[in-house]
Each structure stands twice: as structure tokens, then as C-alpha cells.
Amino acid sequence: MSYFKEFPLIQYEFPNGDTKIYKNLSIRPAFVDELKNDTTNLQAYTIQDGETPETIAFDVYQDESLNWVIMLMNDVMNLYTDWPQSERNLLDNLMKKYREVEDSDGVLRTLSDLEVTEYLEFVGSTSNNFKGAIELSDSDNGPKVMLKPHHFIDEDGTYYSYESHFVTTDVFGNTIDKPNTIIPISHKDYELSVNDGKREIFIPNPRLIGKIQRELGSLVNE
């Protein structure tokens, strides 16, 4: 059974009158949540670099076609957004994602590989107030691409947006207490942490595979 193969089709009409056929995924939570509520049904698993639902299904169930079980139980709807990328692919995609950024005049600029790398890895320091700039070759003494960390964290890992670091008073004029130590997080490290956050999943015990297949079959054939 391939992923989504057994889900029924529904017709959806858009406001402009166009209609398209989609898989009806609304049945998914019915038995998935029930299985998740019993921790004895699942085992924690950390996805290693380059692993896919197919490779995990083969290692755990000796059947790569059961990849849909891994995806279903972890709400993986799109492998490009819901599954961790390999580090190599992630870095390649970050180079594309941050290739075009606005300069200080709001004009979209295309950066070189070195400039994208600088943009991604910049954190700054207290000496430069966590700010920097990329000097554009075609813009002497003109617009620049400004550099800044993605955000800050304190010693406890609490998140602070970049903008909040420079706000010293609240709307009532009261002084805002700031942590003594604040750590700048680069865009690259932020993206890596988001990707790594997708690595922790749960895998149904092999003894449950038959039950999952039966439950899914009964739901889609109601």
C-alpha cells in the first residue's frame, strides 16, 4: 500500500468556479491519535542524515513500501517541508533561499556565493552592536546589504527577536529588563536548528502494522 493510495477522493470547488479532485485527508486523525495516546505503541526515533521514510521502513519493517506508516504517524504531508533535509541539501537550498536579499534602499540584490555565506553566518558582536554590511561592488558609498543575526537567545535558551534587543522601554515608558548574557544566532544556525527539530519522530511497533492497515482500510471504505 503506497502512502495516500487508499484515501478517498473529494471534489473541491474554488471561489472562481474551478474544481479539483483531492485526497480526503480528514480521516487521518481518527486512529492515529488513538495509537499515539498509548506510548507502548510507539518508539522514539532520531532520523539520521540522509535517511528517508523508505530506508527507515526497510530497517524497521523489512519493507520499504511501508514508508506511508512512518509518514502517517508523524503527520508528514510533504517530504520537502516536513522531513529533515540532508545537511548537504539544506546548505545548497540555503544558498538559493538567501541568494536574493534587499539592500538598504529596499532594492532586491543578487549575492555571490561568498556574500551569501557571509549573510548566513553573520552574528556580529557587542562592539558593532550586532550589525554589519556587505559592500556592493556596484554601489560605492551607496546602498548596502545589511547584516544581522536571525535572533538572540539568553543562557536559558529563551528566544528574543532581533528587533526586541534594541527596545529598552515598553509602551508605558518602563525600562525593560534584559538578560545579562545574550547570544546571537545566525541565519544558518537558525535554519539548521529548524531542520534538526524535524529529526525526532515516533515509529509504530512492528506488531501494529496489521492493525494500522485494517483501521485505514475500514475508514476509507466507510
Low-confidence ranges of the chain (pLDDT < 50): 1-3, 14, 22-23, 25, 220-222
pLDDT the model gives residue 16:
55
Pairing of strands 108-110, 100-102: antiparallel
DSSP 221: T
SS3 35: helix
Q: Is 75 left (phi over 0), alpha (psi -120 to 50) or beta?
A: left
Kindly list the strands in the beta sheet with 182-185, ordered across the sheet, starting from the edge strand earlier in the chain. 159-161, 151-154, 182-185
Per-residue pLDDT, 222: 45
**Looking at this protein, which amino acid is placed at residue 47?**
I
pLDDT of residue 134: 93
pLDDT digits (tens, 9 = 90+) for 84-125: 999 999 999 999 999 999 999 999 999 999 999 999 999 999
What is the pLDDT at residue 9?
54
DSSP 74-91: TT---HHHHSPPPHHHHH
Pairing of strands 42-46, 100-102: unpaired
pLDDT of residue 28: 55
Query: What pLDDT shows up at residue 20?
Result: 53
DSSP 58: H
Compute, in degrees rounded to 10, the torsion defined by CA atoms 16, 19, 25, 26. 60
Taking a C-beta distance cutoff of 8 angstroms, is the pair 146, 132 a contact? yes
